Amino acid sequence: MADKIAANNEKKQKVLSLIQPSGTPTLGNYLGALKNWKDIAEQYDCAFGVADLHSITVRQEPAKLREQVRNMYALLLAINLDPEKNIIFIQSQVPTHAQLAWILNCYTQFGEMSRMTQFKDKSKTHTDNINVGLFAYPALMAADILLYQANFVPVGADQKQHLEITRDIAERFNGLYGPTFVVPEPLIMETGGKIMSLQEPTKKMSKSDSNPKSFISMLDKPDMVMRKFKSAVTDSDAKVEFKKGKDGVNNLMGIYSCCTGKTYDEITAEFEGKGYGDFKVAVAESVIEELRPVQESFEKIIKERAYLEDCMKNGAEIATKISQRTLDKVMKKIGFYQFKG
Ligand code: TRP
């Protein structure tokens, strides 16, 4: 008995996160989230996924979607997540997600879903396609999380409200049927911060920005990275220091600090008496070095089609097996018909 408890205590807590396959992630996505996944994977029992079911809430071109899912999966391997140690899966290949999402829809109120700010924002920008999936999106995300009994979910500010509704749904279900789901907590990242647009540094860096010079994609080639940093917006006082109002310089300092581990004071000292030209080149070089191993690994993995598909199949199989346990429990509690034999 004591042994069993000891073994249980040693059992790592679980973390789950998914990423949408909508285009190549930016340097902001990398420094703010993906870069941390490797560390998280070492500390926790993790499941990572490509959220392709979520991505069809806006129209996708079929061939492009397929390619983007493959690229995103390869990128997860390229950031050094180990498919032997973590579950890495594609959401649409694990049928329990859509199954539990339907069930959770029936335990979510129209009113609470209507308060989701992402839905409100997206229905303003996609006025021609305000579909029911876009509205019910958080119930699918709740299913993703609750199926794996995740203790923690690394979330950025934009997904916090969705995690809160997930907690509400889990607590409601547990209240009605007894303990069924672990109620997940947000995992707040200390590093990374928020990386801003290189052209309008008061706006978050975004891959859907109409100005490609405003963001660095994780797969941008070194000369492209250099060019984009050289044209980054700064200010006219030519001093590398972190100060209110110097949004462009602050952003570049944040990036440089993330990639080199240097503090703001060290950076200011390093560029004392030098112009922004030198600073921008140094920032670009640090980013190029940061992305180099990921890009090299990606180029290799994306060509190994059979290996990639093996990992996908394996990931889907394990994810299905684990998540099925939760789904079975839920279905039983609700009263869906169970065979006697
Ligand atoms: N909605 C998230 C996003 O757009 C992606 C996502 C889907 C997710 N399911 C999840 C994130 C579960 C964390 C946990 O960024």
- In whole angstroms, give the CA distance from residue 163 to residue 153: 8
- Among 310, 326, 322, CA closest to 83: 310
- In whole angstroms, give the CA distance from residue 185 to residue 149: 11
Q: Looking at the predicted structure, is the pLDDT value of residue 139 above 80?
A: yes
Residues 148-175 pLDDT 10s: 999 999 988 889 999 999 999 999 999 9
Q: Tokens at residue 289, please? A: 């070095």
pLDDT of residue 192: 58
Q: Looking at the predicted structure, is the pLDDT value of residue 8 above 60?
A: no
In which element (H, E) is residue 160 found? helix 160-177
- In whole angstroms, give the CA distance from residue 249 to residue 238: 9
- In whole angstroms, give the CA distance from residue 337 to residue 163: 31
What average pLDDT does the structure give for the chain? 94
CATH 3.40.50.620 range(s) for the chain read 2-192+305-334
Residues 191-232 pLDDT 10s: 556 899 999 999 999 998 999 999 999 999 999 999 999 999
Q: Looking at the predicted structure, is the pLDDT value of residue 6 above 80?
A: no
Q: Which of 38, 124, 160, 204 is catalytic?
A: 204
212-297 carries CATH number 1.10.240.10:
yes
pLDDT of residue 157: 84
89 strand-pairing partners: 49
12 flagged as catalytic: no
User: Which residue type, as a one-letter code, is found at position 265?
Assistant: D
The reply to whether the predicted model has a pTM over 0.85 is yes
pLDDT of residue 191: 57
122 flagged as catalytic: yes
Q: What's the rounded mean pLDDT across residues 260-282?
A: 96
Between the CA of 20 and the centroid of ligand 1 the distance, in Å, is 7
pLDDT of residue 136: 98
Q: What's the rounded mean pLDDT across residues 328-340?
A: 96
Q: Looking at the predicted structure, is the pLDDT value of residue 259 above 70?
A: yes
- Pick left, alpha or beta for residue 273 (phi over 0 → left; psi -120 to 50 → alpha; otherwise beta): left
3-state secondary structure of 113: helix
Q: Looking at the predicted structure, is the pLDDT value of residue 3 above 80?
A: no
- In whole angstroms, give the CA distance from residue 291 to residue 289: 5
List of residues 6+ apart from 320 with CB closer than 8 A: 94, 95, 96
- In whole angstroms, give the CA distance from residue 314 to residue 301: 16
Query: Ligand 1: does its nearest atom lie under 6 Å from the Cβ of 86?
Result: no
pLDDT of residue 11: 83
- In whole angstroms, give the CA distance from residue 56 to residue 302: 23
Question: For residue 156, which atom of ligand 1 is closest to its CA?
Answer: 15
- In whole angstroms, give the CA distance from residue 336 to residue 149: 21
On whether the CB atoms of residues 274 and 302 are closer than 8 A, the answer is no
Residues 40-88 pLDDT 10s: 999 999 999 999 999 999 999 999 999 999 999 999 999 999 999 999 9
Query: Ligand 1: does its nearest atom lie under 6 Å from the Cβ of 159?
Result: yes
Report residue 125's pLDDT band, with 50, 70 and 90 as the boundaries. Answer: confident
pLDDT of residue 4: 44
Report residue 189's pLDDT band, with 50, 70 and 90 as the boundaries. Answer: confident
CATH 1.10.240.10 range(s) for the chain read 212-297
Between the CA of 255 and the centroid of ligand 1 the distance, in Å, is 24
Question: For residue 158, which atom of ligand 1 is closest to its CA?
Answer: 15
Residues 78-114 pLDDT 10s: 999 999 999 999 999 999 999 999 999 999 999 999 9
Share of the chain above pLDDT 70, in %: 96
φ/ψ of 217, rounded to 5, equals -85, 150
On whether the CB atoms of residues 255 and 229 are closer than 8 A, the answer is no
Written as one string, the DSSP assignment of 241-279 is ---TT-HHHHHHHHHHHHHH---HHHHHHHTTT--HHHH
Q: What's the rounded mean pLDDT across residues 21-31?
A: 93
Report residue 341's pLDDT band, with 50, 70 and 90 as the boundaries. Answer: confident
List of residues 6+ apart from 47 with CB closer than 8 A: 14, 15, 16, 86, 87, 88, 89, 148, 150, 319, 322
Report residue 5's pLDDT band, with 50, 70 and 90 as the boundaries. Answer: very low
Share of the chain above pLDDT 90, in %: 90
CATH topology (fold) of 2-192+305-334: Rossmann fold (3.40.50)
Q: Looking at the predicted structure, is the pLDDT value of residue 184 above 80?
A: yes
Report residue 1's pLDDT band, with 50, 70 and 90 as the boundaries. Answer: very low
Written as one string, the DSSP assignment of 55-93 is HTTS---HHHHHHHHHHHHHHHHHTT--TTTSEEEEGGG
- In whole angstroms, give the CA distance from residue 312 to residue 74: 10
204 flagged as catalytic: yes
Query: Ligand 1: does its nearest atom lie under 6 Å from the Cβ of 257?
Result: no
Query: Ligand 1: does its nearest atom lie under 6 Å from the Cβ of 246?
Result: no
- In whole angstroms, give the CA distance from residue 74 to residue 297: 9
pLDDT of residue 190: 63
- Pick left, alpha or beta for residue 23 (phi over 0 → left; psi -120 to 50 → alpha; otherwise beta): left
Query: Ligand 1: does its nearest atom lie under 6 Å from the Cβ of 54?
Result: yes
